Structure formats: C-alpha cells, structure tokens
A = this chain, B = another copy of it.
Amino acid sequence: MKQDKGLLLVLSGPAGVGKGTVCSTLRESDANITYSVSATTRAPREGEVDGVNYYFKTRQAFEDMIAKGELLEWAQYVNNYYGTPLPYVEKSLESGNDIMLEIEVQGAEKVKERYPDGVFIFLMPPSLEELKNRIVNRGTESMDTIHERMTVAKDELDTMDMYDYVVVNDEVESAVERIRAILTAEHCRKDRLIEKYKEQLEAEN
C-alpha cells in the first residue's frame, strides 16, 4: 500500500515582510508539519545550533553540494551561500510528512520548477492593502507617491502570479491562522485525494 506523500509548502514574499516571524509562530502552534533546515556558509551566531537553526558549511562543502545537485535551491547574499538541502525535503515528503520551506522569492521560483505541485504561499505586506484604502480615499496623497507605490505593487504582483495563495501579514497570529487553514484545505483538495482512491480501486480490480 502506497504511503500518501506529504505536502510541500513554500512560504515566501518580499524581503522584510516577516516570513521568519510567521514561520516561527507557526512552529510554536500545534500544526503537524516539519520545517526544512537551510544550509549556509555564514558563521553561527551565539546560541545557534548546527542542524537546528542551520547546517553550517564551509564554502568548499557548500560548493560541493551545489556541484552534486544536493540543493533544491540556493543563493548568495552578502558573500555567503544559503540553500535548501534536497535529501531532507525528499525524505519528509516520501514518508508522508508535510514540510515547509521559508525562502526568498528567487528560491521559491526554483522550487516551483522542481515541485510544481507544491503549495506556494505569498506572504504580502499590508502595504498593498493600505494602497487599496488610499486609492479608495483618493486625493490624500500626491500623484507621485501613488505612482511610486503602484510600481512597487506591480512588481509584487508579477512575482505573486506563480503562487497559489496570498496571505496578508497584517497580524502575525491571523496570518498563521490562515496558513493553517490553507494546510487543512489542501489536504481536502479533490485532486490530491482522487488519485489515492483511484489507486486503491484499481489495485483491487
């Protein structure tokens, strides 16, 4: 009997939107989900534990992982590498555990290529919501400011297009609640369930 595969959840969004806070609040809740641990070449900060906060790697070791295709996605920020080790993700999914990646938008695009069936959640700053209100109450801002905000909003929308869900991070608790609801709902999606039932039926007939 084939084990159900776990769901791959990808939480991403613009820098500074609060992905880390939302993700750690989700971890503290009782959501039944595992979390991917990133690999990095940056030095551990005080209190950080290897294999818990990050897998701490030398540049050489990290570049070996890249060469061997052992990273689902990776990027370089401020002279350090950051990436998602593939084996742990694959092992979790195969053993039927849901796994969440909290990554930057560029990384999310790479994951989408490899796992198009993943659940992609775009965490959005409340600014576009605010923007909405500004447009509604128009006339209170200069045309230049509105124009600038529109440009930012349009760039965000272009990135947003590959995501399945958009969660506004207005309050951390309510953002977490919505992500939990998405997880529950995704487990009820017919497309995910029907294959399971069909396999069972065909196996017997």
Contact = CB atoms under 8 A, between A and B. Distances in A.
Interface of A: 1, 121-122, 128, 131-132, 135-136, 146, 150, 153-154, 157, 160-161, 163-167, 177-178, 180-182, 184-186, 188-190, 193-194, 197-198, 200-201, 203-205
Chain A at the B interface: mostly helix, strand, loop or mixed? helix
Contacts of A178: 184-185, 188
* Nearest 8 pairs of A and B residues by beta carbon: A185-B185, A181-B184, A181-B181, A165-B188, A182-B185, A166-B193, A181-B185, A166-B190
A132 B197 CA distance: 8
A146 B160 CA distance: 47
A128 B136 CA distance: 50
B190 A128 contact: no
A152 to B, nearest CB: 11
B182 A161 contact: no
Contacts of A128: 197
Contact of A150 (B131, B146, B185, B205): B205
A171 to B, nearest CB: 14
A203 B160 contact: no
Contact of A194 (B157, B177, B197, B198): B157
Given A164-B189, A166-B188, A181-B185, 15 more contacts: A128-B197, A131-B200, A135-B200, A150-B201, A153-B201, A157-B197, A157-B198, A157-B201, A160-B190, A163-B190, A177-B184, A181-B182, A181-B188, A182-B185, A185-B186
